[in-house]
Structure 1
Amino acid sequence: MIIHTFCFRWKPDTTEAQKERAYDEINELHLQIPAILETNVGANFSPRSQGYEFGGVMKFADRESLDAYNNHPVHLQLLSWLVPLIEPLEVDFEV
């Protein structure tokens, strides 16, 4: 199994509506991309967050499934409007 983790620092001009849209769309990706086994997202409340306000975890069966997700048109559409709003950090590992 592959665990895909991510967290975002929002850029200064990001609106609350854009943040809510990101939450909603990421939370529902598993409904459109079969490779995703599980998705959990939310606001980061850690006192050691270093400014990363939003994070999530996804589970995939294997690396091929993660690759399918990364190249899926729905994911690419999300990235097209989201990436300009964030400073992302990702960690992927196998369990």
Structure 2
Amino acid sequence: MIRHCVFIRFRPEVGEAEKAMIFTEIAALKERLPGFLAAHVGANVSPETGMDKGYAEGFIVDFADAKARDTYLDDADHRRTGAKIVAAAEGGVQGVLVYDLEIPD
């Protein structure tokens, strides 16, 4: 399994409705992409002050394998939503952290 973690430093002027729309679009991909197992979205709730380095919100998507993750990455709807994320992030791509973990079976 691949756990695809995306953390975002949203620009201060990005409203809750825009954030919710982005997260909804990511989760909606599950309906049509094979191997997209689950999506989890939301704000950081860690009590460790400052450890998030400003990446206060994000999402985690679980994929059956690397092939499913790669299909997601190449998907046109994902690319459109990804562009919205970059546009909404502080500093563009500098405000987005992506980290994939391989989870053994």
Which TM-score band applies after superposition, normalised by the shorter structure? Answer: 0.7 to 0.9
Structure 1 equivalent of residue 101 of structure 2: 93
- C-alpha root-mean-square deviation of aligned residues, in Å? 1.5
Report matched runs for 1:21-36 at 5 Å: 21-36=21-36
Please tell me the residue identity of whatever aligns with 2:59. G
Structure 2 equivalent of residue 16 of structure 1: 16
SS in 2 for 1:80: helix
Question: Is there any run of 5+ residues in structure 2 with no aligned partner, and where?
Answer: 90-94
SS in 2 for 1:78: helix
Whether the 8 Å contact between 2:23 and 2:59 is mirrored in structure 1 is: no
Whether the 8 Å contact between 1:4 and 1:90 is mirrored in structure 2 is: yes
* 2:66 is aligned with 1:58: no
How far apart are the structure 1 equivalents of 2:60 and 2:99? 10
* 2:46 is aligned with 1:68: no
How far apart are the structure 2 equivalents of 1:78 and 1:35? 19
Please tell me the residue identity of whatever aligns with 2:19. K
SS in 2 for 1:28: helix
How far apart are the structure 2 equivalents of 1:66 and 1:23? 17
Point out 4+ residue stretches in structure 1 off by more than 4 angstroms.
Answer: none
Whether the 8 Å contact between 1:32 and 1:74 is mirrored in structure 2 is: no
How does the TM-score come out when normalised to structure 1? 0.86
Q: State the 1:53 CA deviation.
A: 1.5
Please tell me the residue identity of whatever aligns with 1:37. L
The partner residue of 2:81 within 54, 78, 81 is 78
SS in 1 for 2:9: strand
Question: Is there any run of 5+ residues in structure 1 with no aligned partner, and where?
Answer: none
